[in-house]
């Protein structure tokens, strides 16, 4: 479950995750992390989304690395236990997309 994905597996999962997203909203594999920069209408929208994600992160026992300034949240997902990207990162990424208002 938390095994590190090889490059082919990660690229396949990335393709699935990005399949419904427009070109400017796609996730990117970068430096061993699954990354995306989200932009919201304002800080409250950004922080509200982060709060919902936080509840799911606890439930999944998998936590995001993220950086928030005003309406922007830069996300970088990785699985420390696996030393790279695992299915859990893609699961959390998909949850983040589903929680967008």
> Using CB under 6 A as the criterion, what x/- string covers residues 75-94 for binding ligand H2B?
----xxx-------------
Pick 40 or 66: Cβ nearer ligand H2B: 66
The answer to whether the CB of 54 falls within 8 A of the CB of 97 is no
36 part of the interface to ligand H2B, by CB under 6 A: no
Q: At what angle do helices 43-60 and 87-98 cross, to 10 degrees?
A: 140
Given candidates 17, 36, 62, 75, which one binds ligand H2B under the rule CB under 6 A? 62
- With contacts defined by CB under 6 A, name the span among 36-44, 55-63, 67-75, 93-101 that binds ligand H2B: 55-63
The answer to whether the CB of 35 falls within 8 A of the CB of 27 is yes
The answer to whether the CB of 6 falls within 8 A of the CB of 85 is no
Q: At what angle do helices 7-18 and 87-98 cross, to 10 degrees?
A: 10
Shortest CB 101 distance to ligand H2B, Å: 24
Chain residues binding ligand H2B by CB under 6 A are 61-63, 79-81
């Amino acid at each position: 479950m938390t095994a590190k994905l090889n490059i082919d597996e990660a690229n396949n999962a990335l393709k699935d995750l990005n399949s419904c997203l427009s070109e400017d909203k796609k996730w990117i594999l970068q430096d061993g992390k699954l990354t995306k920069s989200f932009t919201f209408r304002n800080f409250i929208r950004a922080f509200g989304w982060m709060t919902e994600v936080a509840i799911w992160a606890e439930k999944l026992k998998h936590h995001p690395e993220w950086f928030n300034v005003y309406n922007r949240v830069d996300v970088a997902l990785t699985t420390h236990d696996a030393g790279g990207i695992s299915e859990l990162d893609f699961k959390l990424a998909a949850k983040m997309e589903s929680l967008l208002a």
